[in-house]
Amino acid sequence: MSYIFSLMAVGTIVGGLLYHKIIFKITSLKLMVFWLLYGVILFVMPLAAELYLKLILVLAFVLGFIGALVDISLVSAIQLYSRREDFGKSFGTFSTLANSAEAVSGFIAGLFALVGLLSSFLAMSAFIISTGMIGVVKIKKNKELTPLNTTVDDDH
């Protein structure tokens, strides 16, 4: 288990270091696609464990890498799509929701575990995938969503 977490951490560090070389312009659509990929990898990991255990190590690294893309894009999107005077409110709301969800997630995971670990893991991954898919569909429908804080340097 420690190998998996270590590889996720290494993937996150590598993703964070390479982010500015891979992503030149942050968009909500890219964020949702990254979120969708994150969910797909989470979904595939327990299935891969049944087939080939060493594949989980590769997937753990990729999960960490994509997790970095999600995290950095999320914070950047909040900055881009919020008015400057609302930065505090936007980040405060995000932080409160994220920390609340993290606190409740253990309880929810425990309820899912009553059903079975594999099925609960797949169900939670499916929720992440559906969030990404819904986000992609909504953003594609609402193309007029433009960043409020645009400057010449916004392609980072």
pLDDT digits (tens, 9 = 90+) for 83-106: 888 888 988 988 898 889 888 888
Run of H or E including 77: helix 55-81
Token output for 97: 């929701």
Alpha-carbon distances, residue 75 vs 14, 49, 86 (angstroms)? 18, 32, 14
Of residues 31 and 108, more confidently modeled? 31
**Across all residues in the chain, what is the average pLDDT?**
85
Q: Distance between CA 56 and CA 23 in Å, rounded?
A: 26
Of residues 111 and 19, more confidently modeled? 19
Run of H or E including 53: none
Please say whether the beta carbons of 3 and 59 come within 8 A: no
Query: What pLDDT was estimated at residue 156?
Result: 40
Please say whether the beta carbons of 129 and 136 come within 8 A: no
